[in-house]
Amino acid sequence: METLEHIIAEHPFFAGLESYYTNLLTGCATNVRFDGGTYIFKEGEEANEFYLIRAGRVALEIFAPQRKPIMLATLGEGEILGWSWLLPPYQWKLHAHALEPVRAIALDGKCLRAKCEQNHDLGYEVLKRFARIVEQRLEATRLQLLDVYAVGRS
């Protein structure tokens, strides 16, 4: 039987994390499911969790007035959804739309922030891992912008 602790320890985001920290994280975790077509969260809503995607695909979208949603990225198995829980004002900056049924582990941001304040080594490990995710997503967005605006084309 797979336990939450085992699932968290095996997730690529937490690869190599000491079991002591995995145990701390497990206290903030729950299994969640989302039906295809539903929104997991929307821009401006309170952000108090993040998700380890176990199965399914999620679109990250932005909305502009009188326009269709603009899809920025698609996330899937083994990826992380959400980092707005990490910094005030703890509000989502995008919409997350389940493109198909999604299974994930939700980690409660308030719980995790409290544990990181109590254990700065855990906080540093979590922050290092999220910094990598933010860097990857910013680079992907930069490449999309270069493609959209056709830099270098006449």
pTM of the model: 0.87
pLDDT one-digit tens code per residue, 63-89: 888 888 888 889 999 999 999 999 999
DSSP 120-142: HHHHHHHHHHHHHHHHHHHHHHH
Contacts with 11 (C-beta within 8 Å, 6 or more apart), sequence order:
52, 78, 105
Q: Which residues share a beta bridge with 95?
A: 61
User: 89: domain CATH number?
Assistant: 2.60.120.10
Beta-carbon-side half-sphere exposure of residue 91 (alpha carbons within 13 Å): 5
Residue 153 lies in a domain: no
Residue 154 lies in a domain: no
Of 33, 43, 55, 19, which is closest to residue 96 (Cα–Cα)? Answer: 43
pLDDT of residue 2: 83
Residue 100 lies in a domain: yes
